[in-house]
């Protein structure tokens, strides 16, 4: 090519004059309010009076800090070897789940859909599911298919168990192929709910299809569950820690390879994942260590009640105290002492926290995230002498709120904190104007509220390989001030 291919930066593209003029002409055509009226309304939306009205609303949600159940179910499915996520619903929903995960991980996400349309909404989607299963097996050669649902299938009441039974009778689905399934309506719960119900179904299906008999403590292994963890480096981190202990372990639901594969020039549908044969054997493990508990409730309940497992469940282990607890539990389950290397790394982290104390002490902040991550962040920020003020958890519940408030009450740095459960990012916007803070920590969805409030947003990036501390980076939307 004589000329280099020029791909404009999408962050700057629509700031070019032609696009600015296009928006101005569109605004004139639509007969908008005057600039004065717009400014007056904007200022009113930042007032205490508007905040009270905002928090009084109950019939509408504006920009919640959560996603829907099938997205979590897809992540759970991709944690197992050669497993194909199968969404019983419309193509549009499936495209959203795939694109959402691909935008975050920068990796292709394999998933198929039954492509339900108007006729399936009236007559049911059984034929779509049977044809879809048969085609998926022929094209993608999975060892397991994990089926979840979208709103359409749930509203019309499609019976997955009956449909899959009919698929086996029709010969579309081999008798020996495991097909865990979960009902994941998007109008209830969130992504962590979908992750949990799909993971439980995978564990139950593979165990029931095996000849294993649950004999907890006979294998000497340790089961490890990371839950809905969107940071693939955390898997490498916990594997490193367990290897330093010399522990024999099985990670149940290891999606790190699928969401962080290398560029070899060849694409495959499946990367890594927990071997299917290892799942039934996990019923004989010494115990189960869960690094999240709110995203694993049903899975841990199944492992405890059916497998008789010893369960150690904690929220995301961030900071010195939480990581000490993690290492102590690994030491207890494995019967091995904490490695000297980790003790030295702990000392360096304490030194780093001391060195940064002058910059972080007394900083007021807003936190947004899932329940387990927020509990870890609260603990970590209190250790640093930072003061959480606004804590937003769109998919939290009363149990999370109680636990978060207990953490805050034992520290003087948590005295001004308020935990908001079920609130959304439009509530956060009102809070940032009514009671300003120094910074916010959350996902990139928080960037609009943070930018308007004039505070930096730090996006959660990763824990270090030790699991002891964290790395946060300023959002591009609020980096330059």
Q: What is the pLDDT of residues 209-220, one digit of tens each?
A: 998 888 888 888
Query: What band does 467 get if pLDDT is binned at 50, 70 and 90?
Result: very low
pLDDT of 469 over the 80 cut: no
Q: pLDDT exceeding 70 applies to what percent of the chain?
A: 95
For range 324-353, the mean pLDDT: 96
Asked if 151 is an active-site residue, the reply is yes
Residue-range domains of the chain with CATH: 69-209 (3.40.50.1980), 222-261+268-341 (3.40.50.1980), 361-459 (3.40.50.1980)
pLDDT of 62 over the 90 cut: yes
| Residue with token string 């003061």 | 387
Residues 277 and 209 sit within 8 Å (Cβ to Cβ): no
pLDDT of residue 464: 39
3-state secondary structure of 112: strand
> Of 383, 428, 369, which is closest to residue 231 (Cα–Cα)?
369
For range 354-383, the mean pLDDT: 96
pLDDT of residue 1: 52
User: What pTM did the predictor assign?
Assistant: 0.91
pLDDT of residue 89: 95
Task: Share the mean pLDDT of the chain.
Answer: 92
Question: Which segments within 79-218 are labelled E, that is strand?
Answer: 83-88, 112-113, 144-149, 181-182
Q: pLDDT exceeding 90 applies to what percent of the chain?
A: 84
Query: What band does 10 get if pLDDT is binned at 50, 70 and 90?
Result: confident
- Rounded distance between C-alpha atoms, residue 68 and residue 5, angstroms: 38
pLDDT of 285 over the 70 cut: yes
Report pLDDT digits (tens) over 450-464: 999 999 999 875 443
For range 141-162, the mean pLDDT: 96
Q: Which two tokens stand for residue 18?
A: 């032609």
For range 230-237, the mean pLDDT: 94
For range 349-368, the mean pLDDT: 96
pLDDT of residue 462: 46
* Chain centre distance of CA 402: 22
pLDDT of 6 over the 60 cut: yes
3-state secondary structure of 421: strand
Report pLDDT digits (tens) over 16-25: 999 999 998 9
Annotated catalytic residue: which of 20, 38, 62, 155?
A: 155
For range 34-59, the mean pLDDT: 94
Asked if 197 is an active-site residue, the reply is no
pLDDT of 71 over the 70 cut: yes
Annotated catalytic residue: which of 151, 179, 197, 393?
A: 151
Task: Provide the 10 A C-beta neighbour count for residue 253.
Answer: 28
For range 362-387, the mean pLDDT: 97
């Amino acid at each position: 090519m004589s000329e280099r291919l020029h791909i404009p930066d999408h962050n700057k593209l629509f700031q070019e004059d032609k696009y600015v003029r296009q928006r101005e002409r569109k605004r004139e055509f639509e007969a908008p309010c005057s600039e004065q009226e717009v400014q007056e309304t904007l200022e009113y939306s930042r007032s205490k009076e508007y905040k009270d009205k905002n928090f009084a609303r109950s019939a509408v949600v504006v920009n919640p800090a959560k996603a829907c159940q099938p997205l979590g179910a897809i992540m759970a499915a991709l944690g197992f070897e050669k497993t194909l996520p199968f969404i019983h619903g419309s193509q549009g929903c499936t495209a959203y789940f795939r694109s959402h995960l691909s935008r975050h991980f920068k990796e292709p996400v394999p998933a198929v859909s039954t492509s339900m349309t108007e006729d399936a909404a009236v007559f049911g989607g059984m034929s779509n599911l049977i044809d879809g299963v048969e085609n998926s097996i022929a094209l993608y050669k999975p060892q397991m298919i994990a089926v979840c649902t979208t709103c359409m299938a749930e509203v019309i009441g499609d019976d997955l168990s009956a449909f899959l039974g009919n698929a086996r009778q029709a010969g579309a689905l081999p008798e020996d192929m495991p097909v865990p399934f979960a009902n994941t309506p998007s109008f209830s719960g969130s992504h962590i709910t979908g992750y949990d119900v799909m993971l439980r179904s995978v564990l139950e299906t593979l165990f029931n299809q095996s000849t294993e008999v649950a004999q907890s403590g006979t294998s000497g292994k340790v089961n490890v569950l990371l839950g809905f963890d969107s940071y693939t480096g955390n898997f490498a981190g916990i594997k490193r820690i367990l290897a330093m202990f010399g522990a024999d372990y099985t990670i149940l639901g290891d999606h790190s390879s699928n969401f962080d594969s290398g560029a070899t020039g060849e694409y495959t549908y499946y990367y890594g994942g927990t071997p299917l044969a290892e799942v039934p054997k996990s019923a004989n493990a010494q115990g189960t260590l869960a690094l999240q508990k709110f995203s694993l409730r049903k899975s841990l309940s199944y492992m405890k009640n059916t497998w008789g497992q010893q369960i150690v469940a904690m929220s995301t282990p961030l900071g010195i105290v939480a990581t000490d607890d993690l290492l102590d539990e690994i030491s207890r389950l494995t019967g091995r002492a904490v490695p000297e290397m980790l003790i030295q790394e702990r000392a360096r982290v304490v030194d780093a926290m001391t060195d940064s104390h002058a910059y972080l002490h007394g900083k007021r902040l807003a936190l947004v995230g899932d329940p387990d991550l927020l509990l870890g962040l609260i603990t970590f920020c209190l250790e640093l002498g930072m003061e959480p003020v606004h804590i937003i958890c769109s998919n939290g519940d009363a149990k999370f709120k109680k636990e978060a408030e207990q953490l805050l009450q034992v520290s003087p740095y948590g005295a001004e904190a308020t935990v908001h459960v079920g609130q959304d990012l439009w509530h956060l916007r009102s809070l940032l104007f009514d009671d300003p803070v120094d910074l916010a920590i959350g996902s990139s969805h928080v960037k609009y509220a943070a930018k308007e409030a004039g505070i930096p947003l730090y996006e959660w990036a990763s824990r270090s390989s030790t699991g002891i501390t964290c790395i946060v980076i300023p959002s591009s939307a609020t980096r330059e001030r």
